[in-house]
Structure 1
Amino acid sequence: MSIRTLFVGVSLAVLGTAGASAADLIIPTTPQPIYESAGFSWEGLYAGVRAGGQFVGTNQYGNLGAGASITQGVIGGAVGVNFLPMDPFLLGAEVTGDYVWGNNLSTGEFFANLRAGAVVTDSVLVYAIGGVGVQTGPNNAGSVGLYQLGGGVEVAVTDAITVRGEVVGQGDFSDAGGADSFFETTKATVGVFYHF
């Protein structure tokens, strides 16, 4: 065997090995995203303010006289907590306090509520709300027990702030001669909430 044959054989072996190892370096991969957003977190404490209107029908509602048929302004706030026992269902508890004024009458309304809803998308919550509360009377007329049922939609606009629209039907626990409607008033509010 000559040196020349040995040199050619070694050269071919080296070139074959280099080609094989170069082929092993090219591995097709799919790049992973650097950051994946987890979406809005609906769980936890929140607080906010709201404003709207209350539309009282002709039946007596709380300390407002029968045949009132009035529209009043509403401004107030709410504090609550949400839980997600299983995705997408939400349960929560909330307390609200509202100052209601108009037609030379002003009252305060305070409710303890339960909420149940569904997270439709990461940033949209649809819910039902129900609760019991009390209305303080105008001119220290005393307090009246109330209830409310309704629903709303809440939309996340940042990673901590939501905007909510809510409509509830309200009534009192008094029986005005059997002619009392179940819902004697409607309250519609829009609010801004901060989630901690």
Structure 2
Amino acid sequence: MFVRSLSLGVAAAALLVGGAQAADLIIPTTPVAIYEPAGFDWEGLYAGVNVGGVFSGNGVNNLQPGTSQFSIGGAVGVNFIVADPILLGLEVQGDYVFQDGDDAGLFLALARVGAVVTDQVLVYAAGGVGVSSRSGAASSGIYALGGGVEFAVTDSVSVRGEVLGLGDFDGGDDFFENAKATVGVFYHF
């Protein structure tokens, strides 16, 4: 009888324990991310504005020689990370150059090759072709070669400084007749 009572007691305890576990409260939780990307995302479309100056030596066609002029402009481009940390990009720039009542426009299409030095810093070289234009004068083909440094200041905004040497295809003595230096603020989409 003792064995029978003991067996019934163990069976009852096993059933009660199973019922107690089923009554545990299940609280839904949000899973913790296994990987969170660090740093600024340099890839994708961006657009921004810049200010600076154009410094003339002999003068590219449509720019006054031997002067320094204020410029304001904008740029739109796209970046691709092809292999960490190498970046390739394409950019279109347009600048309005203020020249003593004879203002000019610079329009450039540039290719960029850079390196993401840290999560927040990009160093790049740029080169391309474009046109300089002025009202009442024929547009002139130009080329540009230079580079810059870009710093991320928020999750989608960067600040950059850029210097480009400018030359024209008219066969002048100097490889670069002008230089363009700008500082800009860019939004990355």
Please report the TM-score for the alignment, with normalisation by the length of structure 1. 0.76
Alignment of 1:1-196 (within 5 A): 36=36, 38-57=38-57, 59-64=58-63, 68-137=65-134, 139-176=135-172, 180-196=173-189
Unaligned stretches of 5+ residues in structure 1: 1-31
How far did residue 38 of structure 1 move?
A: 1.9
CA distance in 1, matches of 2:149, 2:113: 12
Local SS of the residue matching 2:68: strand
Local SS of the residue matching 1:90: strand
CA distance in 2, matches of 1:175, 1:44: 37
How far did residue 169 of structure 1 move?
A: 0.5
Quick check: 2:63–2:104 contact (8 Å CA) kept in 1? no
Local SS of the residue matching 2:70: strand
Give CA deviations for 1:81-114 in whole Å, capped at 9, x if unaligned: 0000100000000000000112332111111100
How far did residue 60 of structure 1 move?
A: 3.6
One-letter amino acid matched to 2:175: F
Unaligned stretches of 5+ residues in structure 2: 1-31
CA distance in 2, matches of 1:113, 1:33: 39
Please report the TM-score for the alignment, with normalisation by the length of structure 2. 0.79
Matched-pair identity in % = 63
How far did residue 34 of structure 1 move?
A: 8.9
Give CA deviations for 1:49-90 in whole Å, capped at 9, x if unaligned: 000011001x2411235xx20010110000000000100000
Quick check: 1:70–1:103 contact (8 Å CA) kept in 2? no
CA distance in 1, matches of 2:113, 2:35: 32
Quick check: 2:59–2:178 contact (8 Å CA) kept in 1? no
One-letter amino acid matched to 1:156: A
How far did residue 36 of structure 1 move?
A: 4.5
Give CA deviations for 1:119-143 in whole Å, capped at 9, x if unaligned: 0000000000001000112x32110
